[in-house]
Amino acid sequence: MSIKYIFITGGVVSSLGKGLTAASIALLLEKQGLNVAMLKLDPYLNVDPGTMNPFQHGEVYVTDDGAETDLDLGHYFRYTHSPLSKASNATSGQIYDTVIKRERKGDYLGKTVQVIPHITNEIKSRITQCSQQQPNIDVVFVEIGGTVGDIESLPFLEALRQFKHENHQDSIFIHLTYTPYLSAAGEIKTKPTQHSVQELRSIGIVPNIIVCRGEYELSKELKDKISLFCDVPREAVFDVVDVDDTIYEVPINLNEQNLDGLICNMLNIKKKKIDLKDWKKIVSVVKRPKGSVKVGIVGKYVQHQDAYKSVFESLEHAAISHGFEVEIERIESDKLFEKGAIKKIPKCDGYLIPGGFGERGWEGKIAMAKHCREKDIPYFGICLGMQVMVVEYARNVLGYEDANSTEIDSSTEHPVISLLSEQRTVRNLGGTMRLGAYPCKLKEKSRAAAAYKVSKISERHRHRYEVNNQYVDELEDNGLLFTGIFTKQKLCEIAEVKNHPWMLGAQFHPEFKSKPTCAHPLFGAFVQAMIGKKKKNMRKKNV
């Protein structure tokens, strides 16, 4: 079978959940027995989102090969088995950078370098590279960031139009739009959808399938109308209604509407009846959990929906694996260092400090770690959250009052977290951190080994600073154990407080490798500890 291509565009408004929809459709095709590869094309000019503020861009997702990518790759990971690498995300910045570097080398032999064909050819070659990540790819999904009609996405759309022209039988376009409900008129409106399809057609793209997002289901008449005015077959109009309970229902709903069956027909793929038992089980736990735990997430960007996307998701996966639901309390770290502030924070069964950069909120996070350590409350520190845990221990257990990370105070006398020599000379910010997958050896009988149930793991990193080995013996002698080590460079990857129910920090980002169908072991153990803590508190209350 030749490789098939599915292009996903978005219309009317942004934030429609294009990434989630693309991942859900890819999951259905995987269930059809096909190997999928996913590519996200982002129209902005940054080379990657690594240097962007989380308020602007949300989380930066990291792949094994160290690419700093769009958060939609997190959806792809959670829903599919697509290979994810540098070949899975390209920005306009990257594309232009490649073309301009080539021009400077003289590779274009004196020709005028232009958006068409040089930029569009480079975009097309990214699609081919994505399809060649593994030898057995059957279907490549290409999702275009932004909304149809944006000036900056035009080169991408033109490249896809050409790609379809060259691979006509093997490509389809799926257009995701918004069908708003106007309460004043008491009806759902299809006009914005018609306009965005018109916009697409004006640049030569005719969508094969239209997926409508909205608050309410579309009636048969509305689907007929969209079919007629947008020139797609009646059976090619789908809806994805806002789901109250869980986003994990989206693939099930699309399968019930026969979206995967129609795609197979359109692309000449032999279709079969698929089984979504595993996803239905997840949905049933979410709808009828046997209990709930409450976790406080302490960070600078907690109010931003997407800044800690994979962390929120991983907590949910872990709760589901125990048959529970998780309630998330967002706690701003900025003010926590003020006197008495910790006493006023919402009571939770455990607290998690996610990754982060810079001084703002740092002292509040230290106060939070101290509180959890002293009061035996489960604590999970990720990346910066582990560094916080080590600094707090050095200050309050070893008694080094000024202990710090050199990221926060470069002149501290006790730099328990510091830069490796190779990071000291780094000048460019983009792509220069310790990035991607590194192996890690776990110490026997540690909490980490108990969670993973293996002794060697591989996890993804995104940071510059490390635990300073000069302090490791002293910290260990006083009860802070380093139970995960990158042996080649003797780097501490996991820290655990010895006499504590569950206080663990990971220098890597476990949240990038959790799936709804397979919760990450550390998140699973953290949720287990919170369930234990909650039960203990309830017993205390009843005595």
Would you tell me which residues interact with ligand GLN (CB under 6 A)?
Answer: 355-357, 383-384, 407, 462-465
Burial degree of 374 (CB within 10 A; 0-12, 13-18, 19+): exposed
Contacts of 107 (CB under 8 A, 6+ apart): none
In the complex with ligand GLN, the residue whose CB is nearer, 197 or 388, is 388
In the complex with ligand GLN, the residue whose CB is nearer, 6 or 383, is 383
The one-character DSSP state at 482 is E
3-state secondary structure of 207: coil
C-alpha to C-alpha distance for 149 and 532, rounded to whole angstroms: 52
C-alpha to C-alpha distance for 26 and 21, rounded to whole angstroms: 9
In the complex with ligand GLN, the residue whose CB is nearer, 68 or 72, is 68
In the complex with ligand GLN, the residue whose CB is nearer, 51 or 162, is 51
> Residue 360 Cβ, how far from ligand GLN at the closest point, in Å?
12
> Residue 383 Cβ, how far from ligand GLN at the closest point, in Å?
3
Helix (H) or strand (E) holding 440: strand 434-442
Burial degree of 275 (CB within 10 A; 0-12, 13-18, 19+): exposed
3-state secondary structure of 541: helix
User: Which residues sit opposite 238 in a β-bridge?
Assistant: 211
> Residue 461 Cβ, how far from ligand GLN at the closest point, in Å?
8
The string over 443-464, giving b where at least 16 C-beta atoms fall within 10 Å of a residue's C-beta and e elsewhere, is beebbbbebbeeeebebbbbbb
What number of residues does the chain have?
543
What phi and psi values does residue 452 have, to the nearest 5 degrees?
Answer: -75, -30
C-alpha to C-alpha distance for 67 and 435, rounded to whole angstroms: 7
Residues involved in catalysis: 383, 509, 511
331: left (phi over 0), alpha (psi -120 to 50) or beta: beta
C-alpha to C-alpha distance for 502 and 173, rounded to whole angstroms: 49
